[in-house]
Amino acid sequence: MDLIYQERGHRLTCFEQPLLSPANLSSYGEVIHQAGAPLVNCWGFVDGTVRPICRPGQHQRILYNGHKRVHSIKFQSVVTPNGLIANLSGPCEGKKHDSGMLRESGLLTSLEEHSFSSTGDILCIYGDPAYPLRPHLQAPFKAAVRLTEEQLAFNRAMSTARVNVEWVFGGIVNFFKF
């Protein structure tokens, strides 16, 4: 990693500003909002992905993902609207829940320290219902009893906006297929 950073680290800056500076995070939030997302302070999307593997000879239970019914490893990433993977953690064992990966990654702590606009306003990322609701991490309304039309519209709009996370994972998988 050090070699990659030394050789290509300059690509992580844009117009003399780091790509994850408060000004750029705010800019990402504006782009996401202009694309139809109701949140004005959301600069990226978090999601986990399951990558199937061959059935291992040992530790099958740890690597088995019961939801997808495959042996796997999992990764979690935060993606910005320009397709940049702003944070990547993993691999984790296939049975690990997204909220467990979130806890182990330290992402929430990092967001609490750095995810603010230039004026000090809280900026957030958005995840699926598997993620907990926090000031820096938003998620869809959950149907405890019955969602209102406004809540359903919010969930639809944010779901449409967060599709880019899936596209990034899909692009990476297709790029490295052999």
Whether pLDDT at 136 is above 80: yes
Residue range 1-10: average pLDDT? 73
Q: 0.85 exceeded by the pTM?
A: no
Identify the pLDDT of residue 173.
66
Quote the distance between the C-alpha of residue 77 and its chain's center: 4
Q: What is the pLDDT of residues 76-115, one digit of tens each?
A: 999 998 888 889 999 999 999 989 999 999 999 999 999 9
Instruction: In whole angstroms, give the CA distance from residue 68 to residue 97.
Output: 12
Structure tokens at 90: 């993993």
Whether pLDDT at 15 is above 60: no
**Maximum CA extent, the chain:** 54
Identify the pLDDT of residue 14.
47
Residue 150 parent element (H or E): helix 149-161
Q: What is the DSSP string of 3-40?
A: HHHHHHGGGGEETTEETTSHHHHHHHHHHHHHTT-S-S
Q: Where are the beta strands (DSSP E) in 32-149?
A: 42-52, 64-65, 70-79, 85-93, 124-126, 137-138
Instruction: In whole angstroms, give the CA distance from residue 93 to residue 84.
Output: 24
